């Protein structure tokens, strides 16, 4: 196995893992950070394919996409608090407010 | 090529040959690349030690002090003492902090700056990767610094840290706009996005062809590294220390080192894009001279950053954003259009340089006139009551 192949394997597993983690996290910021890792991994794949321009544009997209998440206040709450303001208040457990 | 003309090339070939003597060719190249990365990254990190000492000395001179002068000659060992202090400090992690982002953020902030050094042309032939989209790469990598600040601010579970991160979003992303637009001006002039070609194309330094663009690049870069007068993301009188409030010891040290290295990197980028990079007498012949020229020009840019830092007070957040969106962005767009048109009209013409200079001067004068009319209008508006309400016992 060459160096390139082993890098590809490793990055492939990283992308799969972080993609899975991204769609299963309940914390939106964690999901965004895993999305960043996954997209960065795709950028590395582009580098391996000698597609410099695509890799760089992918890298830019990676870092731009997570920014809106930090501008949405409601979505950064965790636990029972996160249901407030989404029409889910009545499902709050007793005494959590 | 002899050793004295290209020492690093000769040493590199020797190391590559040594690795290839007992490893398969592909793995030898891979290991050789890893070694080169480590060398360039260590160069960046070691230079920080010197930069911190330099900044403290220069800032002290601006404030009529002596600066560090106890440890070693001229206080040169002061930074080493500080590093030892930072390493031996207790490492405190807040109980409700988000462990992984909290610990990754300082590393990412240093890495984001070190990644820029991969495309810095030190001398003819001495460049990490001669990417043909080097300028775009710098823009892409630069925004990973913002990501590290956001991660630090959010994962600290501290309101002040989060406020600092929000300010970072507002400031760094806004100032990226004029910076990227002005980055396009050297690209237009050199007809290439690769930094090496850009340096080779600067028979006339681009600061001569596009002085106002250089100025705007410098201003937005200072905002981008978050230094005074744009250090609102760590304004200590308002939000404690901003995004690194909860960090202690060497983790704080990493943020600190990243900031200093970023300031110097900005100086080096300014030198490459506008001051001719490694170009200078004898640089083609002896490559070490090219590195010396680049470092001297980079230090000039760094000195400007330090100068601004120790001279100007912090500006208010609405002023900062208004300055960006209402002044820097329109002016940089006008300059981009102007450069594109003038370059096309005077292509290969002796009038190219004077035309560019006159165009820059016209833009500068026009923007000055607009600013002056604006400032008069603001001065006439009253923002408070003419007669202040008195506080009297009822």
Q: What is the pLDDT of residue B163?
A: 82
Mean pLDDT of A33-40: 84
Considering only alpha carbons, which residue of chain A is nearest residue B153?
Answer: A70
Per the CB < 8 Å rule, is B166 touching A59? no
Q: Assign A13 a pLDDT band (cuts: 50, 70, 90).
A: very high
B20, part of any domain: yes
Q: What is the pLDDT of residue A72?
A: 57
Domain count for chain B: 2
Predicted confidence (pLDDT) per residue in B97-127, tens digit:
888 888 888 898 888 888 888 888 887 877 7
B77, part of any domain: no
- Residue ranges covered by each domain of chain A: 26-77
Of A76-80, B3-7, B95-99, give the range with the top mean pLDDT. B95-99
B71, part of any domain: no
B74, part of any domain: no
Per the CB < 8 Å rule, is B133 touching A4? no
Beta bridge partners of A62: none
Which tokens hold the place of B269?
């980028």
Contacts of B295 (CB under 8 A, 6+ apart): B268
DSSP B97: S
Our CA angle for B92, B54, B123, nearest 5°, is: 105
**CA trace torsion B19, B22, B25, B26 (10° rounding):** -80
Q: What is the pLDDT of residue B385?
A: 62
Per the CB < 8 Å rule, is B136 touching A67? no
Q: Which residues of B touch A51 (CB under 8 A)?
A: none
Does residue B318 share a domain with residue B186? yes
Q: Is the pLDDT of residue A73 over 60?
A: no
Does residue B18 share a domain with residue B99? no
Q: Is B355 left (phi over 0), alpha (psi -120 to 50) or beta?
A: alpha
Beta bridge partners of B126: B123
Chain A positions with Cβ closer than 8 Å to B: 2-4, 29-30, 33, 36, 52-53, 56-57, 59-60, 62-64, 66-67, 70-71, 76
Distance CA A41, CA A50 (A): 14
Does residue B23 share a domain with residue B154? no
Q: What is the pLDDT of residue B282?
A: 76
Considering only alpha carbons, which residue of chain B is nearest residue A50?
Answer: B131
Distance CA B66, CA B73 (A): 13
Does residue B340 share a domain with residue B212? yes
- The beta-carbon contacts of B365-371 under 8 Å, at least 24 apart in sequence, are B367/B327, B367/B331, B367/B334, B371/B327
Q: Is B242 left (phi over 0), alpha (psi -120 to 50) or beta?
A: left
- pTM (predicted TM-score): 0.82
Contacts of B201 (CB under 8 A, 6+ apart): B189, B190, B191, B192
Mean pLDDT of B135-154: 83
Q: What is the pLDDT of residue A77?
A: 54
Q: What is the pLDDT of residue A79?
A: 54
Q: How many CB pairs under 8 A join A and B?
A: 52
Its domain, for residue B5, covers: 1-66
Mutate to test the interface with A, among B147, B174, B180, B195 (most CBs of A within 10 A): B147
Distance CA B182, CA B329 (A): 9
B75, part of any domain: no
Minimum-distance CB partner of B147 among A2, A4, A63: A63
Does residue B101 share a domain with residue B37? no
B124, part of any domain: yes
Mean pLDDT of B353-368: 85
Q: Assign A97 a pLDDT band (cuts: 50, 70, 90).
A: very low
Predicted confidence (pLDDT) per residue in B45-90, tens digit:
888 888 888 888 888 888 888 888 888 788 888 888 888 888 888 8
């Amino acid at each position: 196995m060459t160096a390139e192949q082993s890098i590809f394997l490793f990055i492939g597993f990283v992308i799969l893992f972080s993609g899975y983690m991204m769609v299963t996290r309940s914390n939106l910021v964690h999901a965004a950070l895993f999305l960043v890792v996954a997209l960065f991994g795709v950028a590395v794949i582009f580098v391996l394919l000698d597609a410099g321009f695509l890799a760089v544009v992918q890298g830019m997209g990676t870092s731009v996409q997570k920014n809106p998440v930090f501008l949405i206040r409601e979505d950064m709450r965790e636990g029972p608090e996160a249901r407030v303001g989404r029409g889910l208040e009545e499902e709050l457990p007793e005494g959590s407010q | 090529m002899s050793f004295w003309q290209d020492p690093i090339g000769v040493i590199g070939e020797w190391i590559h040959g040594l690795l290839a003597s007992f490893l398969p060719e592909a793995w030898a190249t891979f290991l050789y690349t890893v070694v080169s990365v480590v060398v360039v990254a260590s160069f960046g990190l070691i230079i920080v030690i010197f930069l911190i000492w330099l900044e403290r000395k220069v800032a002290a001179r601006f404030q009529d002090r002596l600066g560090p002068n106890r440890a070693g000659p001229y206080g040169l060992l002061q930074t080493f003492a500080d590093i030892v202090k930072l390493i031996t400090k207790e490492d405190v992690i807040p109980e409700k902090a988000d462990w992984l982002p909290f610990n990754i953020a300082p590393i990412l902030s240093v890495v984001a700056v070190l990644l820029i050094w991969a495309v810095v042309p030190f001398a003819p032939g001495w460049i990490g990767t001669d990417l043909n989209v080097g300028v775009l790469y710098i823009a892409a990598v630069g925004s990973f610094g913002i990501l590290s600040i956001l991660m630090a601010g959010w994962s600290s579970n501290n309101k002040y840290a989060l406020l600092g991160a929000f300010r970072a979003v507002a400031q760094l992303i806004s100032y990226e706009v004029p910076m990227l637009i002005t980055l396009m001006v050297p690209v237009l002039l050199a007809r290439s996005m690769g930094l090496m070609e850009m340096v080779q194309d600067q028979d006339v330094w681009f600061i001569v062809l596009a002085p106002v663009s250089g100025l705007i690049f410098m201003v937005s870069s200072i905002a981008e590294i978050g230094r005074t007068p744009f250090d609102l993301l760590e304004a200590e009188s308002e939000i404690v220390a901003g995004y690194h409030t909860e960090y202690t010891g060497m983790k704080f040290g990493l943020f600190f080192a990243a900031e200093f290295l970023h300031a110097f990197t900005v100086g080096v980028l300014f030198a490459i894009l506008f001051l001719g990079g490694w170009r200078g007498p004898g640089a083609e012949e002896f490559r070490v001279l090219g590195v010396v020229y680049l470092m001297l020009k980079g230090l000039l840019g760094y000195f400007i950053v330090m100068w601004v830092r120790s001279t100007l007070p912090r500006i208010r957040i609405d002023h900062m954003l208004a300055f960006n969106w209402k002044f820097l962005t329109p002016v940089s767009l006008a300059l981009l259009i102007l450069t594109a048109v003038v370059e096309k009209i005077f292509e290969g013409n002796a009038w190219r340089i004077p035309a560019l200079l006159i165009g820059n001067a016209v833009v500068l004068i026009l923007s000055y006139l607009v600013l002056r009319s604006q400032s008069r209008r603001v001065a006439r508006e009253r923002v408070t009551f003419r007669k202040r309400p008195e506080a009297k016992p009822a």
